[in-house]
Amino acid sequence: MRKPLVAALFALVIAGAGAAPAVAAPEPVAAVKSTAAVKTSAAVKSTAGTKTSAAPTLQAVNFAGTVSLSNCSGSLIRFPNSADTAPALVLSNGHCLETGFPEPGEVIVNQASSRTFGLLNSAATRVATLRANKVVYSTMTDTDVSIYQLTTTYAAIKSAYGISALTVQDTHPTAGTAITVASGYWKRLYSCNVDGFAYRLKEGDWTWKDSLRYTSACQTIGGTSGSPVIDNATGKVVAVNNTGNEDGETCTENNPCEVDASGNVTVREGINYAQETYQIPACFTTANVLNLSASGCTLPKP
């Protein structure tokens, strides 16, 4: 989670972008350009003269609603019941927090912040600078997430820039789903599938629950931390990108390991992960007010 920029740049120029984990990075240089997204719809097309069962219609995921941070990626998000007049929210990782990594067991709630975010349109052009007034929620315990409240509403953003927030899915993602990791930091899309889920994912001092594992095609790199993981069929956010095993080491920083319910450890060198977000909507009201005591809210509490 602490890979320096020089390593991230190296990972971009080598074939396949290497096995660098999804970690925070400094501000990117202007010479770095986004790459074309890999289309994933080919696998669901029928062959001539052959009948096939109905399959989800895969959408062309783009950058609209993603944001760039000073050291990470993120997204403008809403929940299924969020009001258009509610203060807008930005989702990123806990380890992208401007005040540093939250300690194991630490939960930050309603902390003042004036952080800014670059709002991107579908072509990855920065169209606005959005500003936070607080960190509504942040932790690296059980999950790796930061949620910022902005000084403006969804309606105002839509009216001024024509951009809608991405909706966070409130149901558990499914293995095999075609997904796109959309990095506002690098202006780059990574397409692959949900390979499965890790009962526990341990990295250094932190442990995350029920983490989403990508197939090997998503070789995310430094600076993609906090990127939304988007279901290609629905356009909804199902997870937030956060890490990967770089060197094949066991449970060290930048080398997370999977631990099953029996305590067995599995190391998957070069494989990257995200933290699921389906549990977050239950913790917010329609006005986007955090309520950790709400029925169904399972996020860690301070």
Flag whether pLDDT at 15 surpasses 90.
no
pLDDT for 31: 28
Instruction: Pick the closest to residue 299 from 271, 278, 270 (CA basis).
Output: 278
Burial 62-96 (b: 16+ CB within 10 A, else e): bbbbbbbbebbbbbbbbbeebeeebbbbbbbbbbb
pLDDT of 85-98, one tens digit each?
Answer: 999 999 999 999 99
pLDDT of 159-214, one tens digit each?
Answer: 999 999 999 999 999 999 999 999 999 999 999 999 999 999 999 999 999 999 99
Distances in whole angstroms, Cα of residue 157 to Cα of each of 120, 129, 135, 153, 182: 12, 11, 19, 6, 20
Flag whether pLDDT at 45 surpasses 50.
no
pLDDT for 56: 52
The confidence band for 60, taking pLDDT boundaries of 50, 70 and 90, is confident
3-state secondary structure of 169: coil
Kindly report the pTM of this predicted structure.
Answer: 0.84
